[in-house]
Structure 1
Amino acid sequence: MGQRKTTPENRERILRIAAQLIREKGIEHTTLAHIAEAANISKGTLYYYYATKGDLIFDIADRHMNNMTSRVFRWLESSGSGQSPRMVFRLVLDTVMHSRSRGHTHVYLLQEALTQNPSLKARFVEEYHRWRGIIEEGLTRIYGDQREYTVMAQVLLTTLDGLVLQRLVGSDSVPIDDIASFFEQAGALYQGLPRDESDSLS
């Protein structure tokens, strides 16, 4: 019997369906059998792609992390396009806030990482560190100097996580424009500090 071939298209379809089921049922209540049924494939075919649910979850996490990272990179690129700091902050806030399905995925993966998946937790730690570095580089581009923006990058990243949670529980009154303005003013205040004082905040 010839060896079956996996295809990127089928793998992507399985991951998309699995992520949707996880958002609807939760990780604990989503089995490989459920995913195979929803994808209209046999369990054997699914097992050919993913022998365990853990392997599949890690690939969903990888896909999710790559999507989130690409957003942060887009923000980084826009920060050098001559837009005002407020517009750049608004862009990144609006992009993250209005991706409801990915927000659900982010929360479920975090829950899994915190409760029973040390390898997934380690991956989140790695990616948060990476996102923070990208944001810090973006802030340096916005303000055009070589100060360290570690603290401001951490606050912005934490704010994004918090806003995603607020949106998911139904808070539609998040004032994105006001928050963007706040970060713009914080950056201006930071710029007004002597170099040694602003660097001591990092």
Structure 2
Amino acid sequence: MRGPVGQGSDGPVSVAAFIASQRTEHDVPHAVACRALGVSESWFYKWRDRRPTPRQDRRTKLTDAVRRVFDASGGTYGSPRIGDELREQGWRVSDNTIAQLMADLGLVARAKRRRRGLTRQGKRPAAPDLVKRQFTAPAPDVAWCGDMTEIVTQEGKLYLATVIDLYSRHILGYAMGDRHDAGLVVAALNMAAVTRGGDVAGVIFHSDRGSEGEFN
């Protein structure tokens, strides 16, 4: 599969698992989730029913370990501290891999240090700031916030776009690619919409003004 969603060797399996979870957790039909993510139903069933490889099995166990350490910290550990804990337990894993797994799980540390901003000033006029710089919400799906993070890997830079519910602080959608552009933002929004069952009318989406997402 091509495009921002599902890139990388583990991407198809992750996307297939995400589509399956929407049926279980939110009663979203597989056909609806497949259309939203731009994949065919035959592609989904192929990857859903595929037996896990040793690498995928290791990733599943690592994902469980990341969640355990995060929960044990009371939700305060970010990827560097979780990485330290896991390496002490014998895991050979990088902080970047843990950061990606945390994004997959929707885990955001409460005391997370802000990374270097990636926003580039766009040429178009800024859209109205509907959240008034107040990054909280009184209920789920009132306001979402977009973020873009640069991840350095051995093969080069990757960019992770996320959509976060400002009420729960949970990640509703994400997309990763090697280009820092609006396509990643749109892919992350599509996943967030599927997570919420497709009906997101009236939700405010805020992103910093920049050329990759000139809207809020």
TM-score with structure 2 length normalisation? 0.30
Give the structure with the larger strand fraction.
Answer: 2
TM-score with structure 1 length normalisation? 0.32
Give the structure with the larger helix fraction.
Answer: 1
